[in-house]
Amino acid sequence: MFQDPEATRLLAISPHLDDAVLSIGGGLAQAAQDGAKVTVYTVFAGTAPPPYSPVAERMHAVWGLSPDDDAPLYRRKEDVAALDHLGVSYRHGRFLDSIYRTLPDGRWLADHAEGGRKLSVSEHAPDGDPDLVAEIKDDIKAMIDECASTLVVTCAAIGGHPDHEAARDAALLAAREKNIPIRLWEDLPYAVFRPASVELPQGFHLGSPDFSSVATEMRTRKFQAVECYVSQLAMLDGNDVSMFDRLDEHARKTSPHGGYGETTWPVICKEDDS
The string of DSSP codes covering the chain is: --SSGGG-EEEEEESSTTHHHHHHHHHHHHHHHTT-EEEEEESS----PSS--HHHHHHHHHTT--TTS-HHHHHHHHHHHHHHHHT-EEEE--PPPGGG-B-TTS-BSEEE-SSTT-EEE-TTS-S--HHHHHHHHHHHHHHHHHHT-SEEEEE--TT--HHHHHHHHHHHHHHHHHT--EEEEPPTTHHHHS-----PPTTEEE---EEEE--HHHHHHHHHHHTT-GGGHHHHS-SSS-HHHHHHHHHHHH-SSSS-EEEEEEEEE-TT--
Q: State residue 128's pLDDT score.
A: 75
Q: State residue 274's pLDDT score.
A: 43
Nearest to 234 by CA among 101, 52, 3, 60: 60
Q: Which amino acid is at 95?
A: F
- Mean pLDDT (10-residue bins), the chain, 274 residues: 76 98 97 96 95 91 90 97 98 97 90 58 68 97 98 95 96 98 96 85 95 95 98 82 91 89 94 50
* 7-42 tens-digit pLDDT: 799 999 999 999 999 999 999 999 999 999 999 999
pTM for the whole thing?
A: 0.94
| Domain segments of the chain as ranges | 5-265
Which homologous superfamily is 5-265 in?
LmbE-like (3.40.50.10320)
Q: State residue 234's pLDDT score.
A: 85
